[in-house]
Chains A and B, each alone.
Chain A
Amino acid sequence: DQQVKQNSPSLSVQEGRISILNCDYTNSMFDYFLWYKKYPAEGPTFLISISSIKDKNEDGRFTVFLNKSAKHLSLHIVPSQPGDSAVYFCAASRFMNSGGYQKVTFGTGTKLQVIP
């Protein structure tokens, strides 16, 4: 049961344009969402997060949007740069009364290629 879904396995974007990566989730108990970036032969690197009490969080060129009613989030990268070429994972977590955000559920990833 894939609770976090990234339906686009790959995406190609011209340098300087906007990259939009999408993610859907099915578990309404998730209340914290993250994006990770992964380069080959490296572990994932945390990029940006958003709590379910917000609908937008911005950090430099990266903005995450959350639509709770649609159970959908997206990551916008503006402007896209060749160094952004990587696999992007959407992830989600839920607060546990036993001790906070412990388990993180990842999507299958979207490979972004930014073309110079």
Chain B
Amino acid sequence: DAGVTQSPTHLIKTRGQQVTLRCSPKSGHDTVSWYQQALGQGPQFIFQYYEEEERQRGNFPDRFSGHQFPNYSSELNVNALLLGDSALYLCASSLGGRGTEAFFGQGTRLTVV
């Protein structure tokens, strides 16, 4: 039983570019939440997708957008990258729109130069 998988594991982008991160939830899960974890900080909630809709959003600008596909996988898109977007991006999957007791992927380390 595959857990939560994220791709890529590492990524280097130039300021101003756009990036897409991908997440496949744990088998049987239908809800995906995205988090940003800066160095020395806890994960910060970006948004949650359930039934292919964004259900709740944290304090992140519109440069951060996402999508959920019918197979429950999800993408996180970040436009006009800033140096401050450098962080570990975590995907968490869960069931029924509940964001708690979620299973996390290993994350994508994004470095903006």
Q: Complex Cα distance A22/B75, Å?
A: 34
Q: Which residue of B lies closest to A46 (CB)?
A: B101
Name the one of B4, B42, B103, B107 contacting A89, with C-beta atoms under 8 angstroms.
B42
Contacting residues of chain A (33-91) with chain B, CB-CB under 8 angstroms: 34, 36, 41-46, 49, 89, 91
Q: Which residue of B lies closest to A1 (CB)?
A: B59
Q: Which residue of A lies closest to B37 (CB)?
A: A106
A interface, size bucket: 20 to 34
Q: What are the residues of chain A within 8 A of B35 when measuring CB–CB?
A: 106
Q: Which residue of B lies closest to A101 (CB)?
A: B100
Which of B12-20, B43-51, B61-69, B79-87 is the interface stretch? Answer: B43-51
Q: Complex Cα distance A68/B46, Å?
A: 27
Q: Are A99 and B40 in contact (CB under 8 A)?
A: no
Name the one of A44, A98, A102 contacting B98, with C-beta atoms under 8 angstroms.
A102
Q: Are A43 and B100 in contact (CB under 8 A)?
A: no
Interface of chain B, helix or strand or loop or mixed?
A: loop
Q: Are B106 and A43 in contact (CB under 8 A)?
A: yes
Q: What are the residues of chain B within 8 A of A108 when measuring CB–CB?
A: 40-42
**Separation in Å of the B15 CB from the closest CB of chain A?**
26
Q: Are A103 and B58 in contact (CB under 8 A)?
A: yes
Q: What are the residues of chain A within 8 A of B100 when measuring CB–CB?
A: 32, 34, 49, 91, 93, 101, 104
Taking the complex as formed, is B24 at the interface, i.e. its CB lies under 8 A from any CB of chain A? no
Instruction: List chain A positions with a Cβ less than 8 A from chain B.
Output: 4, 6, 32, 34, 36, 41-46, 49, 89, 91, 93, 96, 98-109
Instruction: List chain B positions with a Cβ less than 8 A from chain A.
Output: 4, 33, 35, 40-45, 48, 50, 55-56, 58, 90, 92, 96-107
Other 14 A-B pairs with CB < 8 A, given A103-B99, A108-B40: A43-B4, A43-B90, A43-B103, A44-B104, A46-B101, A49-B101, A89-B42, A98-B55, A99-B55, A101-B100, A102-B55, A103-B56, A106-B43, A106-B45
